[in-house]
C-alpha cells in the first residue's frame, strides 16, 4: 500500500499514537497554535484548516471555540474517514474536503487559517504561492498560523534534530531507528528555514508576523492579513524575493 507524505504509517488508525512519538511536544505545539488565535475575533469563527489529517487539531478547535465553523482539507481519504468518525458529534460545524490544499479552491472571508505539520511538504515557490492564496482567503486582519518543522540556519546544528527526537523516543520506550523504520517520517519533506518562511509571508502581504513558539526545529509562526487602512495610505513596498 502506498503511504502518502503526511500519512506517516500504513495503518492510519495508529497515526495519532505514532505522531506523538515522532514529534516532541506535539500537544504543546497544538496548544500554541490554538492560543495564538486572537480573542478579539468573532465567536462564530470561520476557520480553514489545511492538512487536517485524522482531525486531532480539528477536534480541539471545536471544543475550544464552540460557535466556530471549520472547513478541513486533506488529500488522504483514509485519514478523512477517521476524522469524520472522530468528530461525528460536530458534523454540523465541520465541512470535510478531500483534496490537495495547494490546488484546492479555498472558501473566502475566513477569520483564521491554520495548518500543522503539512506545509513543509511544499517547495519554497509552492509555499509562497500557498501563502498568497491564504492571504486572499482571509478577512481583513484575519490570522494565519502554521505549526511545522523547519531547518536550522546553520548545518552545524542539524545534529540537534535527530538528537532531540531520539531523546524523546527513548522517554516513550522506543528506539528512534526502530521508529523511523516502521514509519514514513521525513517522506516527501521540503524543509526550509524559519527565516525564509517569515520572508515569504511578508512577500505574500502579511504583517505583524511573529514566532509564537519554538522547540528546536518545531515552530509555530504566523501573520495577519495586511489591508490598506484607507485609500490615502501608501502601499508597502514588497519584500525582496528569495533566490529559489
Per-residue model confidence as pLDDT tens digits over 165-207? 999 999 989 898 888 887 766 567 899 999 999 999 999 999 9
Calpha distance 82→163 (Å, rounded)? 32
Q: How far is CA 45 from the centre of its chain?
A: 18
The sheet carrying 94-98 orders its strands as 94-98, 69-74, 46-50, 110-116, 138-149, 218-225, 206-215
pLDDT at 34: 98
Cα angle 97, 83, 220; round to 5:
80
Which residues 6+ apart lie within 8 Å of 57 measured at CB?
Answer: 30, 33, 34, 49, 114, 116
Q: What pLDDT score does 218 carry?
A: 97
Question: Cell 509562497 sits at which residue?
Answer: 128
C-alpha cell at 171: 522517554
Residue 44 has pLDDT above 60, yes or no: yes
Q: Are 134 and 108 in contact (CB under 8 A)?
A: no
67-78 average pLDDT score: 96
pLDDT at 177: 87
Higher pLDDT, 210 or 12: 210
- CB count within 10 Å of CB 29 equals 24
3-class state of residue 17 by DSSP: helix
Class of the domain covering 12-144+151-217: alpha beta
CB-CB contact of 146 with 89 (8 Å): no
Question: What is residue 143's three-state secondary structure?
Answer: strand
pLDDT at 243: 65
Give the residue-averaged pLDDT of 118-128.
96
Determine the Cα–Cα distance for residues 112 and 100; give it in Å rounded to an integer: 19
Query: How many percent of the chain have pLDDT more than 90?
Result: 78
Q: What is the pTM of this model?
A: 0.91
The pLDDT, as a whole number, for residue 180 is 81
All three cell numbers of 97, joined, read: 474536503
Identify the CA nearest to 95 among candidates 106, 31, 76, 127.
106
Radius of gyration of the chain (CA): 18
Ranges of H-type helices in 87-184? 124-137, 159-171, 176-181
Amino acid at each position: 500500500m502506498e503511504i502518502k507524505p503526511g500519512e506517516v504509517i500504513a495503518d492510519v488508525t495508529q497515526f495519532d499514537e505514532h505522531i506523538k512519538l515522532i514529534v516532541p511536544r506535539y500537544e504543546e505545539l497544538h496548544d500554541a497554535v490554538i492560543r495564538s488565535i486572537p480573542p478579539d475575533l468573532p465567536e462564530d469563527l470561520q476557520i480553514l484548516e489545511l492538512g487536517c489529517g485524522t482531525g486531532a487539531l480539528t477536534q480541539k478547535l471545536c471544543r475550544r471555540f464552540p460557535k466556530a465553523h471549520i472547513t478541513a482539507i486533506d488529500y488522504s481519504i483514509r485519514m478523512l474517514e477517521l476524522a469524520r468518525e472522530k468528530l461525528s458529534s460536530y458534523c454540523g460545524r465541520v465541512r470535510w474536503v478531500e483534496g490537495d490544499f495547494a490546488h484546492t479552491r479555498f472558501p473566502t472571508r475566513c477569520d483564521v487559517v491554520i495548518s500543522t505539520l503539512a506545509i513543509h511538504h511544499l517547495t519554497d515557490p509552492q509555499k509562497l504561492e500557498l501563502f498568497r492564496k491564504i492571504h486572499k482567503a482571509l478577512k481583513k486582519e484575519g490570522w494565519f498560523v502554521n505549526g511545522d518543522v523547519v531547518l536550522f540556519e546553520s548545518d552545524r546544528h542539524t545534529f540537534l534534530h535527530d538528537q532531540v527526537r531520539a531523546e524523546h523516543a527513548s522517554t516513550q520506550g522506543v528506539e528512534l531507528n526502530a521508529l523511523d523504520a516502521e514509519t514514513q517520517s521525513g517522506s516527501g519533506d521540503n524543509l526550509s528555514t524559519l527565516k525564509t518562511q517569515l520572508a515569504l509571508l511578508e512577500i505574500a502581504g502579511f504583517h505583524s508576523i511573529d514566532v509564537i513558539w519554538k522547540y528546536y526545529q518545531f515552530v509555530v509562526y504566523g501573520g495577519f492579513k495586511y489591508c490598506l487602512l484607507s485609500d490615502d495610505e501608501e502601499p508597502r513596498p514588497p519584500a525582496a524575493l528569495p533566490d529559489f
